[in-house]
Amino acid sequence: REMFIEFIETSMRLKNKSDISFTNVRFSNLLKLEDQDKLYEEIVEDDHGNSPLINTLNQYLDEFNIVSPNKMNLVFFSDAVDHICRIVRVLLQPRGNAMLVGVSGC
């Protein structure tokens, strides 16, 4: 990732690295709960660092907890939200699938 950012900065010949930032850039189609045609859009955080995507994921979680006998208490931190965006993007592709490898929770 750092090599990619360095390549972009040098190819664009940016004078200051602060001219452009690739950190916390998220795109998702999860923001519209009720829409049939969910648009793939950039997720922009407000001035306090609150993400509308985290609020939407919490709404999805609340809906799941209402209908499921097994309640889940999840915390959506920044890295988890990034992974969720990637997984959703892969699974929504035609014949999309992914192998998720990780350790079980503590």
Structure confidence by residue, pLDDT tens digits, 32-72 = 656 667 777 777 777 666 778 888 889 889 999 999 999 99
Q: What is the pLDDT of residue 21?
A: 59
Task: Read off the pLDDT band of 10 (50, 70, 90).
Answer: confident
Q: What is the pLDDT of residue 24?
A: 65
More confident residue, 12 or 98: 98
End-to-end CA distance of the chain: 28
Identify the sign of the CA torsion 63, 66, 69, 74: positive
Q: What is the pLDDT of residue 48?
A: 65
